[in-house]
A and B are shown apart, each in its own frame.
Chain A
Amino acid sequence: MNDVVNSTVRAAGVNIKDLRKSYGSNEVLKGISLTVEPGQVVCLIGPSGSGKSTLLRCVNLLEQPNAGTINVGKFEATDPDVDLNKMRQSVGMVFQHFNLFPHLSVLDNCTISQMKVLKRSRSEASEVARHNLERVGLGHLADRFPDQLSGGQQQRVAIARALSMDPQLMLFDEPTSALDPETVGDVLAVMRKLAQEGMTMLVVTHEMGFAREVADRVVFMDAGVVVEEGPAENVISAPTQPRTKEFLRRVLDPTHIGVEEA
């Protein structure tokens, strides 16, 4: 019980080697290699369709890769004999569209998997859930239902739900892309806190400010390959590759595009 309430994390690393994924004849990941050390925060950036979400979804096998290996902590995800459910228990996933369970209250969203998968008692699961709802600043909304919350609140509940399984790694798939601008900050603040507590995080994001501030490393992907990677200040502030420069110029100064393309 103690190690649950204690907010320090046992973090796991990720090791991806030469990962390939195709949909039919369309190869979306063309041999990606990527390492995330335990406790590190790595942000994946790049234009839409570059394969970054697919890469993230391969890590917990929501997408089945065609070739290559993925290691998550002590699990080899790409081993056909891996206990997938066991592995996923240690990998928290946060989706762009939250995917909260609409038929369950906020508290039950956070307890159901603890009870059904980890076989925790209702009281223990509730205690863990309430603790994690406090962590994301929503302890007072435990009895609400998802459709009574704002997008930003829903996303923070989704983070609390994932944390309630005591993950050693968190995957974020564009967690702020579906949010109203004024609620983005709350979600990013929770993620920043999580990073400071030593959680391993792999984050697909378009929030360059967050990446620059929080990420240990930034990986720029385009057309299924890693184009450039390194410390945030290098990749975002002083990119060397032309494709990275072009992407960042468009993202950081969107008003520029209209003028140029007109």
Chain B
Amino acid sequence: MAMTARQRAKVSLYVQAGIFVVVLATVILAVDWKTIGTSVFNFAKIGPMFPDIFLVGLKNTLIYTALAFVVGLSGGLLLALMKLSTFPLYRWLATGYIEFFRGVPALLVFIAFGYGVPLAFGVQWDVNIVVMVSLGMVASAYIAETLRAGLQAVPKGQMEAARSLGMPQWRAMVSIVIPQAFKIVLPPLTNEIILLTKDSSLIYVLGLTASQYELTKFGRDGISSLGAGLTPLLVAGAFYLVITIPLSLLARKFESRSARTKR
């Protein structure tokens, strides 16, 4: 009567697959397809979203993400170098900055820089500037930690060899250590871009004109203007995947490549 280990494993697999099928069937039967078809995902309402979802939503999401990434990468590199500095003041400043901006919700940073700072200093900021500053500052906190890990992963002998050839510290950093660190952090850095892409949706808290809408805001606006239930938002969500899935694939490619070149 007793089963062999292999038989037991087989039975266990069948049981797991069975549970999966039952759950799936329950969901499909329980769902109100009629309501979904009219007000959650209505195919007829997708058409009117084009081509603006490309020309406005997707375009602005890409622009905001790119701006924030440029600020985040340069700020992150500066913070990472500060964190590795031998001068304690730099280390404390960088640590304080990183802990603060990783600790507070990005949404609050958006509100602070979108409303607070312009009020406090009596300035009018362009949306692009607000995105660059707020999202860029949050991003630089995260990217700083990634880069610091990358810089520390470069063997100490590389710096020693560069210094032995007469290079000053900064030159050794720029020409020898940083290029190698970037190769190491390429996969995690790609993940940071994915996070940034999604965080750019937080801009909805700012007052935007229609031409400044990014994907999420575009979708939310579509809900009221098209009267299509949740459809526009779901389509906008799908467009995020258009950006993030290729990035994931890219990150995986970097990962396998750096794994191959490792000695």
Contact = CB atoms under 8 A, between A and B. Distances in A.
Contact of B263 (A88, A112, A147): A147
Interface string B147-166: 00000000101101111111
Given A112-B175, A116-B175, A147-B261, A99 B165 contact: no
Contacts of B180: 101-103
Nearest to A101: B176
A97 interface: yes
Contacts of B176: 101, 112
Contacts of B160: 62, 93, 95, 99
A102 B261 CA distance: 10
B163 A62 contact: yes
A17 interface: no
Interface string B219-237: 0000000000000000000
B167 interface: yes
Interface in A127-180: 147, 158, 161-162, 165
Contacts of B263: 147
A162 B165 CA distance: 7
Contact of A116 (B158, B163, B171, B261): B171
B164 to A, nearest CB: 4
B168 interface: yes
Interface in A93-116: 93, 95, 97, 99-103, 112-113, 116
A165 B166 contact: yes
A60 interface: yes
B254 to A, nearest CB: 15
A60 B163 CA distance: 9
A78 B261 CA distance: 41
A117 B167 contact: yes
Contacts of A60: 164
30 contacts: A62-B163, A85-B167, A85-B168, A88-B163, A88-B166, A89-B166, A91-B164, A92-B164, A93-B160, A93-B161, A93-B164, A95-B157, A97-B157, A99-B155, A101-B161, A101-B162, A101-B176, A101-B180, A103-B179, A112-B175, A113-B165, A113-B167, A116-B167, A117-B165, A117-B167, A147-B261, A147-B263, A162-B164, A162-B165, A165-B165
Interface residues of A, number: 26
B102 interface: no
A103 B175 CA distance: 10
Contacts of B165: 88-89, 113, 117, 161-162, 165
A249 interface: no
A91 B164 CA distance: 7
B253 interface: no
A250 interface: no
Contacts of A95: 157, 160-161
A86 interface: yes
Contacts of A89: 165-166
Contacts of B158: 99, 101
Contacts of A118: 166
Nearest to A83: B166
A149 to B, nearest CB: 11
Nearest to A61: B163
A93 B176 CA distance: 17
Contacts of B162: 101, 113
Contacts of A112: 175-176
A144 B166 CA distance: 24
Contacts of B175: 112, 116
Given A112-B175, A116-B175, A147-B263, A99 B161 contact: yes
Given A95-B157, A117-B171, A147-B261, A85 B183 contact: no
Contacts of A165: 165-166
Contacts of A93: 160-161, 164
Question: Which 4 residue pairs spanning A and B have beta carbons closest together?
Answer: A89-B166, A99-B161, A113-B165, A93-B164
Given A117-B166, A117-B167, A103 B161 contact: no
Nearest to B263: A147
Interface string B84-100: 00000000000000000
Contacts of B171: 116-117
Interface in A167-208: none
A14 to B, nearest CB: 15
Interface in B69-85: none
Contacts of A162: 164-165
A102 B263 CA distance: 10
A144 to B, nearest CB: 14
